[in-house]
Chain A
Amino acid sequence: MDQTNLTKDFVVGNPLGIHARPASVFVQAAAEFQSEVFVTNLDSGSTADGKSVMSMLMLSAPQGTRIRVVVSGPDASSAMDALSRLIEGGFDE
């Protein structure tokens, strides 16, 4: 199977940052895909598992934080598309 690795950087745009609800929305979206998802807070250096809400909460990423999303797995590109839309759309907030 095709094993793709994709990396993309973002700036958290929604005013409240990644709090519980965006974290939930993100984790739910990530769970749709087989690929592994990791999110790194580029300002603090900590990395979270994009499929764990607890882990995402610990990321502590308020508005303006630079984050890096790394997706790897067979459906990496569609996963990255979906997650990009979510982050760039401000988590539908």
Chain B
Amino acid sequence: MIDASPAADPLPSGAASSPAAHPVERKEVLFHGFPASPGICRGRVLVFGAAHTDFNEIDPIPIDASEAESEVKRFQTALDKTKAEIKALQKKMQRTIEKRDAKIFDAHLLIVEDKLLHKEVVARIRGQLCNAQSSFLLTIQRYINAISGTNDTYLHERAGDIRDIANRILRNLNGDQDIGPTLDNLPENTVVIAHDLTPSDTAMLDRRNILGFAIETGSRTCHTSILARSLRIPAVVGMRNIAGKFANGDEVIVDGFLGMVIRNPSKETLAFYKEKISRKDELYNLLLKDSSRAAETTDGYRVKLCANIEGAEDLDQVFQCGAEGIGLFRTEYLFMNTPVAPDEETQFRIYSKLLRAMHGRSVTIRTVDLGGDKLDFASASAIREPNPFLGLRAIRLCHEKPQLIRTQLRALFRAGVEGDLRIMFPMVSSLSEIEELLDIRDEIMEELRNENIPFDPKVKIGAMIEIPSACLIADALAAKVDFFSIGSNDLVQYTLAVDRLNERVAYLYRPSHPAVMELIRLTVEAAKKHRIPVCVCGEIAADPRFTPILLGLGVLELSMSPNAIAEVRGVIRKTSMLASENLAKIALSASDPEDVMLLAKEHIQAVAPDIASILG
């Protein structure tokens, strides 16, 4: 997570960082955004999405007629090489549990194999006697301009795909000369600065060489931020208009604790951060040593700490941090960037593999939660709605796309025999929805029974509590399900009517708002009455400042990204339930949510000053 080593030698500069275009500026400059993923790193900037190659100013480079055929051959070789590269990359991504991102490469392959593109480039080489590079660039430019000329944001993004492919082909045309790095092939010690990184961009990041990133869009709870935390790299989001202020190769520090990016840090700044990094590194390692210890308060209350994960490759981390189970396994990725939803067998294999790997520890799998901020993945039922967060998503799709949920449930029930599986349904807003889903469950069990297919009839079913209405009818819901899982991110945004992706109102997104606290209290009360467990799996579960408040509200199960577990465990081991209940009482009646956060911070400062210092 934290890199304490000095930055590497200056990177070989890409085409965009020619000295003329970006005069060297040594002055330290500070940029502010929202902290999205903790950690500090120091590296060299790569501006992503900026034209690595300027596709607009291309001069045809003439060749002799006798060279034409060898240029055509060179172009063909570059295409073959690019195809092989993409296929290798696709295979690499498919090996992980997330087949999702591998699918986007199908589109990439089709572009490389496109016969019109090929024909046009060859015709240009032969007819106008231009070399392979310029013929290719002049051709691709036509396509990029046509596609990015439309007003359709979706197509704009696709123009980005074509640029990415074009850069690959160019790199291969130029032999070893590096024309423009791609996200999966970054220079060492890279910090990516971009206007936006889509979640599939983020998933594709070259994990050996990426140190951190800063983007103009996004918020702390957007999906890209969540991915950054699971990749354990520092990230800052919501930084307005920064992409143009950096050039490839700029030295930069990303402070994911404070949400700052420092360009050309001074000697003093570097020394300050070097100190900070080594202290944090030390403390984090110290906390990790406690990972086999119980998360127990000083007065003996046991808390179950679980991990939120995205794919099987995160499992090492899960074991390392001593999580007692998986509290949230997101399945959206299985449905993203794929022309058809994954079939039952595919899903069955993935879920079984996960359950086996967990050796009997509990695994909570959330049924597909597509919609809202995930809509741009244009998957199963991507429908342009004026209010996607209030629209057709998650379990609401079970009328329009009944097969989606049925196939997933069949795969889940079958996989259930491999371990301790719990299924949770997102976006529950009324009792009838749960009743309907339970009916579907019964039908599916009946089907499997009739087909003589082994399954686990005792798989537990839970409701995600993330809509205020669900909190208010928690008593009725608790009578129907086996557990509750509070999704705090959505609960906060639905309670406060704040779009968490909109930077302009992001300041109103306050998880410590007393209304949110009260809704959690109601939910816990109902769960206790019906003796079912309740877990919190949103962002606040990962924030050590919230830990005592949640304990005080009666939440004894928390699920978070694996790298947050050490700190949360540390706080629990230093806190008493008595103090926690007091904090919760204050939080329930506070007039200003910020006061609550200050109090929570003071509490941690008092009981665990070392962890308080990690919070930045």
Contact = CB atoms under 8 A, between A and B. Distances in A.
B110 A28 contact: yes
Contacts of B111: 53-54
Contacts of A19: 152, 154-155, 158, 378
B20 interface: no
Interface string B72-116: 000000000000000000000000000000000011001100111
B143 A54 contact: yes
A20 B154 CA distance: 9
A16 interface: yes
A53 B110 contact: yes
Contacts of B339: 21, 24-25, 91-92
Nearest to A24: B107
B116 A52 contact: yes
B340 A92 contact: yes
Contact of B115 (A16, A28, A52): A52
A15 B400 CA distance: 14
Nearest to B117: A54
Interface string A41-81: 00000000101111101101010000000000000000000
B107, B111, B115, B158 — most chain A CB neighbours (10 Å): B107
A65 B315 CA distance: 47
Nearest to A60: B150
A16 B382 contact: yes
B115 A51 contact: yes
A49 B118 CA distance: 14
Contacts of B380: 93
B161 interface: yes
Contacts of B143: 54, 57-58
Contact of A54 (B114, B150, B378, B382): B114
Contact of A57 (B147, B378, B381, B384): B147
Contacts of B110: 24, 27-28, 53
A51 B337 CA distance: 21
A24 B155 contact: no
Contacts of B340: 92
A34 to B, nearest CB: 15
B270 interface: no
A89 to B, nearest CB: 11
A25 B339 CA distance: 7
Nearest to A19: B154
A21 B147 contact: no
Given A16-B154, A20-B107, A25-B339, A53 B378 contact: no
A24 B106 contact: yes
A22 to B, nearest CB: 8
A52 B383 CA distance: 26
Interface residues of B, number: 26
Contacts of A49: 115-116
A51 B158 CA distance: 18
A21 B115 contact: no
A21 B380 CA distance: 12
B384 A20 contact: no
B146 A20 contact: no
Interface string B330-361: 00000001011000000000000000000000
A57 B106 contact: no
A58 B154 CA distance: 13
B340 to A, nearest CB: 5
B154 to A, nearest CB: 5
Contacts of A51: 115
Contacts of A25: 339
Contacts of B117: 52, 54
A59 to B, nearest CB: 10
B378 A93 contact: yes
Contacts of B382: 15-16, 93
A25 B111 CA distance: 13
A53 B146 contact: no
B107 to A, nearest CB: 5
Contacts of A93: 378, 380-382
Contacts of A17: 152
Contacts of A27: 110
Contacts of A28: 106, 110
Interface string B357-381: 0000000000000000000001011
B158 A20 contact: yes
A93 B143 CA distance: 25
A57 B116 contact: no
Nearest to B147: A57
A62 B110 CA distance: 21
Contact of B116 (A15, A20, A55, A62): A55
Given A21-B339, A24-B110, A24-B339, A54 B158 contact: no
B155 A58 contact: no
Contacts of A24: 106-107, 110, 339
A42 B381 CA distance: 26
A20 B161 CA distance: 10
A46 to B, nearest CB: 10
A51 B116 CA distance: 9
Nearest to A22: B339
Given A20-B158, A21-B378, A54 B116 contact: yes
8 contacts: A16-B382, A17-B152, A19-B154, A20-B154, A20-B155, A54-B117, A54-B143, A57-B158
Interface of A: 15-17, 19-21, 24-25, 27-28, 49, 51-55, 57-58, 60, 62, 91-93
> Which 5 interchain pairs have the tightest Cβ spacing?
A52-B116, A53-B110, A20-B158, A24-B107, A54-B114
